Amino acid sequence: MKKITSIILMLCMVLSLVGCAKKTTPTKETNSEPTVAATDNQEVEEETTNSTSNDPKERYDLSEPMNLVFYLVGDPGKDYQAVVDELNKYLSEKINTTIEFRFTTWTDWSQKYNLVLSSGEQCDLMYAANWTNYGTLAQTGAFYALDDLLAEYAPNLNSLMDQKIYDMCKVDGALYCIPADQRTYAASGIRYREDLRKKYDLPVPNTLENFEAYISGIQKNDPNQGLISPITISNNYMNAFYMNSIFGLKYGNAMANYGLTASYETPTDVQDYWRSPDFVEDMKLLKKWADMGFWSRSSLSNTEEDSFDEGLIVASVANMNQDKWIGSYNAAKEKHPDWEIGYVTYGVVQNNLAPASPLQNATVIPHNSKNPERALIALDFLMTDETANDLVQYGIQGKHWNLAEGEYYEEIKDSGFSYENMNTWNLRNHLFKKEMKPSDDTAYKDLIDSYDVVSANTKWQGKELSTGFIEDYSTYEIERANLNSVISQYLTPIQAGLVDDVEASIQEFLKQADAAGLQKIQDSYKQQWIAHCEEFGYK
């Protein structure tokens, strides 16, 4: 509880400190000593030539050396500093710039992320995404608006990106980020031990009934085998406990927040799930599984899931996507050749899969930056120069990776830096992406191909309906913080199945949630969501 409260207070601090700077576009007057300026007294012909050149040193006055700070989330690969050193040699030569990369780590990353923004610490570029509160922070002025800067300071990015992609990333009509240039999926699902399923002749866990049969079958045949290791989730207003994600097998939601849900087929028909018979039924199922011993009663205090790759559990049902699955799939081929790793995608089961929002991975220029123009020039170069992009994505060629047959990425084992080991998903450029050499094993390709088919055949032709939806909770910020505390205390044990009387516990949860201001939150959120759907024609 203390940890959740501290994060909420930290976010409030961020919003209060940057709130006065909403929709700020950097201008020459913004900086006391501009570091990027057009050369004065040029001939018109020379000016025209410079403005269309792809060489940054010809386009801009970069005579002053510049060191920028770039914040990324998570933890870097162990040999990342060697990559940064090599990158900075190249950047110094090309744009007279060096970059210091700093990382939030995965431990309390949210608190660190918000502290950077609120403290005034130098930060010129920063990873951002829908899950890092990009929309809310942009609304309060945490980032520079980029609309008027793209053509001048990021001409290559301006040409690379489709304007429609930029439009999806706008907040209140202004663009505050540069999204990664790579179509991807952020589909969630269930990773499981296919070899054990076959060994004990169990069903594929693609329904709630089959999932129960799969877990109980392994439990019966191998009582000493660990099963599931769910954990609690901080700052989530729907899934307070990992196991609640299993209902992706039952519902195809386009929206689910604050107890409100809307299906992918009828997104404007918003339902109150927490007050429905379905909620009671679902929570009784989780209690049944908890009573059957599918997970430990100490799970409420777990902060990290037990290792699937080490064989400690046989299924993961949350925070799991196709890329994490393929990691386990490949690891098993090397370390446990007798294993098979299966995957069930919720969106495929529900037939409502869509490519990830452009806001899944993006880069912002925080208001802490005193040189936003130079930061944008550097970002443009990092994303559109192949040598620079290769370094931040794959490391040093010949030391960390090789190009097999002139085109395929091949990792050098135990080199200290693997594929995207600096967590620079936000700097992806599809033109430079190094594919791995095709093999007889087409599991991942087959999975993505199935995603493409489902996505193309959905009602909305593969659109992620929440893209462009930015929640404005300024009118219920206090109620929202109060609800977070209620969820942690009352909803979490219900979703963990660790209550004696499910119906009585739900009534108490709703009583406390209503006292915290749930109705006010739901009314405003529902209104915002329906307005969003109507704006984009999702009816």
What's the one-letter identity of residue 248?
G
Q: What is the pLDDT of residues 287-344, one digit of tens each?
A: 999 999 999 988 888 878 899 999 999 999 998 888 889 889 988 998 999 999 999 9
Among 27-31, 246-250, 298-302, name the most confident range: 246-250
Higher pLDDT, 414 or 228: 228
- Any idea which fold 188-352+455-539 has? D-Maltodextrin-Binding Protein; domain 2 (3.40.190)
CA 396/CA 82 separation, integer angstroms: 8
Q: What is the pLDDT of residues 185-198, one digit of tens each?
A: 878 999 999 999 99
Higher pLDDT, 25 or 485: 485
Q: E strand or H helix at 280, and its extent? A: helix 277-291
CA 69/CA 424 separation, integer angstroms: 14
Give ranges for CATH 3.40.190.10 in the chain: 2-184+358-401, 188-352+455-539
Q: What is the pLDDT of residues 3-13, one digit of tens each?
A: 444 444 444 44
pTM summary value: 0.73
Q: E strand or H helix at 68, and its extent? A: strand 66-72
- Any idea which fold 2-184+358-401 has? D-Maltodextrin-Binding Protein; domain 2 (3.40.190)
CA 65/CA 498 separation, integer angstroms: 59
Residues in the chain: 539
Do 168 and 465 form a contact (C-beta atoms < 8 A)? no
Position 46 scores a pLDDT of: 38
C-alpha torsion 509→14→476→528, nearest 10:
-110
